[in-house]
Amino acid sequence: MRILFAFLLLAPLAAAQGRGAAAAATPGDRAAFIRENYPKFEYRIAMRDGAKLFTSVYIPKDVFTEGRTYPMMMQRTGYNVAPYGADLYRASLGPSELFEREKFIFVYQDVRGRFMSEGDFITIRPHKPVKSGPKDTDESTDTYDTVAWLVKNVPGNSGKVGMYGVSQPGFYATAGMIDAHPALVAVAPQAPVTDYYMGDDVYHNGAFMLAHRFSFYQGFRNRVGDPAPPTPTQRFDFGTPDGYDFYLSLGSLANVDEKYFKHQQPMWNMNIDHTSYDEEWQSRAIWKHLKSIKPAVMLVGGWYDTEDPQGLLRQFDFMEKNNPPADTLVMGPWNHGGFARGDGERLGNIEFGSKTGVYYREKIEFPFFLYHLKGRGDGKFPKAWVFQTGLNQWRKFDAWPPPAAKPTDLFLDASGKLGWSRSAESGFAEYLSDPAKPVPYVGKIVQGILNTYMTEDQRFAAMRPDVLVFKSEPLDHDVTVMGPIQVDLKVSTTGTDSDFDVKVIDVFPNDYPDYANPAPVLPGAPPALSPMGGYQELIRGEPFRGKFRKSFEKPVPFVPNQPDRITFYMPDIAHTWRAGHRIMVQVQSSWFPLTDRNPQQFLEIPKAASTDFKKATQRVFVGGADGSRIQLRVME
């Protein structure tokens, strides 16, 4: 492998003889365009403590042939910057092809301890707000040191740097904008990991995101030995296409390390050894350090993100309250990272009426970096740029949530109704929760977690006796909700711990037309029925582990059969229930294998034996002065 330790001010390189900026028609053409127009260099950049981080840099060839200058677009990642070798090229550069054609200097770096970079890797490395010397490093200092080296040494750079990243790289983008180098002027954390415990990948309201974490940790392993390129990993064999059956047969989670990870996955053990919001998790909550951020910031996420739905919303809210930067929040109808790939016209069975991904990349992301790095465009970005599902349109707001969205209560009723007025009569609805027969998260056989599950039809669950269903009358006008959903449940259980999972749903009318296949309609005849007629679209759903109802740091048991209160917020939505649709709420006590099973006994769940799992009768109290409700922010 050829590693360059000093920049070479070269005449035209053989690899840089190119065709100009004609649009690539195929992935092959795109890769050829990059090779012909971007000479590649590889470096090991020394951090303040001496650790050297492997960095690939792609420089437009006209830097060398014409003396041009360009800003830099940087991504730091734990997922590798392959291919390695100065003569081997990536198939794409930057957030989208628009950046390749416009031309920037592109920088990719393996973070500390990953692949070709030196040092020790720490999952979501804790930020150190106080540093006593060069040995006190974190992702903020590594970013600062990298930017300082780049602007000093990269030929043809304009002295401005933009940073972006999706998921874990989104965490590194977030960390990099804390105490940022002055050259770092624009940052876009996209679907970022922000707080592993509080609503992102690992825990949601104290419930462990079992299937995703198990599957992810099979492929994401710590490096053993010296810096080295990635090696092929063998795909895990579940032995069955039925993920529900596989995870049900796991037994105690305490046995999983010995059986499947063979003591080679410390991240799995960290998950099951730290089931409350202790220092291990709190130290990794990067959002708590986002004060007085200097670079311009664009936070990007999807309403249907199955992995990091809460993180960027928490980042945005915190930054807005702590000397906010020039920031904007972008939320679209995408799953995890869906904005960066595909057209974004649909997700699962739900269509959005336009190419939302293309719109984002062309009208939002590219203009943001173009303005801040090259000074082109008017620089007018709204505080919030969100896609309103249901009506399928983009909206711009000066604040998020918009002030016009007023808190409005919907009350649960013992008869199964959901209404805008409180029933004077108190009562309850109850169901028997059996951990041996948990409620599945989708109504079909799948092996893992579908990246479309957040739009899936919930009729399969509504038919189960262990799922409570509360449904409004057909709406006589559109109801638009913007912002978080508050859940306020009065509950009891015959156990000493239980989950209460809440889903908010859009129920389509039975005569919903088939827009995808319109057919001629005779005068006076009803429109053709659609397969979406009666569809129960999941709009937002969240689990809540009951023992954390008082505190996520110190769990407490339920007193059997004694009513208690669970109150929490679901991540924001921007959705319109159309006239003729219904609003539905479902309540259940398992959501498997999306989350692990609760034995319904107060204990350390990963250590639960098979005999610890007990049936429990759950009651949800409704009506009267303190009955259960949900609160929506309804637009006036």
CA 604 to chain centre: 27
Return the closest-CA partner of residue 498 out of 613, 603, 601, 619.
Answer: 601
- For 405-518+526-635, CATH number? 2.60.120.260
Q: Which helix (H) or strand (E) holds 293?
A: none
What is the reported pLDDT for 527? Answer: 65
What is the reported pLDDT for 18? Answer: 33
Going by the DSSP 8-state scheme, the letter that residue 233 receives in this structure is -
Q: What is the mean pLDDT of residues 180-187?
A: 98
What is the reported pLDDT for 186? Answer: 98
Give the alpha-carbon dihedral of 13, 19, 25, 28, to 10 degrees: -20
In which band, very low, low, confident or very high, does the pLDDT at 521 lie, cut at 50, 70 and 90?
A: low
- To which CATH superfamily is domain 14-195+284-397 assigned? Alpha/Beta hydrolase fold, catalytic domain (3.40.50.1820)
Q: Please write the tens of the pLDDT for every residue from 157-171.
A: 999 999 999 999 999
Q: What is the mean pLDDT of residues 267-295?
A: 97
What is the reported pLDDT for 3? Answer: 34
Q: What is the mean pLDDT of residues 606-632?
A: 96
Q: What is the mean pLDDT of residues 64-85?
A: 97
Cα distance between the two ends of the chain: 63
Domain ranges of the chain: 14-195+284-397, 405-518+526-635
Residue 401 preceded by cis peptide, ω within 30: yes
User: Mean of the per-residue pLDDT values for the chain?
Assistant: 93
CA 581 to chain centre: 28
What is the reported pLDDT for 520? Answer: 62
For residue 23, pLDDT over 80 is answered with no
Percent of the chain with pLDDT over 70: 94
Q: Please write the tens of the pLDDT for every residue from 568-579.
A: 999 999 999 999
Q: Please write the tens of the pLDDT for every residue from 487-507.
A: 999 999 999 999 999 999 999
How, if at all, do strands 184-190 and 501-507 pair? unpaired
In which band, very low, low, confident or very high, does the pLDDT at 19 lie, cut at 50, 70 and 90?
A: very low
Give the separation between CA 572 and CA 93, rounded to whole angstroms.
32
More confident residue, 635 or 524: 635
Return the closest-CA partner of residue 438 out of 203, 210, 606, 217.
Answer: 210
Of 14-18, 222-226, 417-421, the range with the lowest mean pLDDT is: 14-18
Let me know: does 304 contact 454? Beta carbons within 8 Å: yes
Give the separation between CA 216 and CA 201, rounded to whole angstroms.
10
**What secondary structure does DSSP assign to 585-611, as a single string?**
EEEES--BTTSPPP-SSSS-GGG--GG
Q: Please write the tens of the pLDDT for every residue from 356-369.
A: 999 999 999 999 99
For residue 522, pLDDT over 80 is answered with no
More confident residue, 160 or 27: 160
Residue 83 preceded by cis peptide, ω within 30: yes
Query: Which residue is listed with tokens 């991504």?
Result: 75
The pTM of the whole model exceeds 0.75: yes
What is the reported pLDDT for 509? Answer: 96
Q: Which two structure tokens, joined as six digits, stand for 134?
A: 């060069």
* Environment class of 100 (CB within 10 Å of its CB; exposed 0-12, middle 13-18, buried 19+): buried
What is the reported pLDDT for 636? Answer: 86
168-176 helix and 139-153 helix, angle to the nearest 10 degrees:
70
Q: What is the mean pLDDT of residues 599-610?
A: 96
